[in-house]
Amino acid sequence: MSWQGYVDSLKANYADNIAAAGLFGFNGSTWAQENFDHAATNFQEIIDLYNLFADPSSGFANGFTFNGEKFVLVKCQEDALQAKSKGEGKNPLSVEKSNQCMTIARGVDGSNAGSLAIAVGKIADYLKANNY
């Protein structure tokens, strides 16, 4: 399966509730993405997001920017983080690390953060099991 196939599978896991999704390397590289065009061209946002796993304090204190959108960090665990946009819709963002990349999805207005995290987790778990 191509990397884009994983993005398509992620979107299918939470159909009609994912506004943007992608797989990104820890070094800022874009493996596949849909509607994360800003992040793909501004790779420093990807690196900054990855660095929150090592030290989430700045994300909790000041939030962070991803794909040109401001977010508030809600939860950060060893391999997963959840955030919500600072904009009007408070759209959820879910990120999960696997061995070599991050699986990231942003929900649409009204989407459930927990359901989004489950969809992201399914793809990340599969990637981990296959050493990605």
Mean pLDDT value of segment 113-118: 95
pLDDT greater than 90 at residue 1: no
Q: Which domains does the chain have, with CATH numbers?
A: 3-103+113-129 (3.30.450.30)
pTM of the model: 0.94
pLDDT score for 89: 78
Nearest to 13 by CA among 129, 107, 132: 107
pLDDT score for 87: 78
Nearest to 6 by CA among 122, 131, 95: 122
Question: Per residue in 28-85, pLDDT tens?
Answer: 999 999 999 998 889 999 999 999 999 999 999 999 999 999 999 999 999 999 999 9
pLDDT score for 122: 95
Q: List, in order, residues 6 or more apart from 123 with CB less than 8 Å away.
A: 6, 9, 10, 13, 96, 103
How far, in Å, CA of 4 to CA of 41, rounded? 17
Report the number of secondary-structure helices (H) and strands (E) in the chain: 5, 7
Nearest to 90 by CA among 75, 76, 104, 111: 111
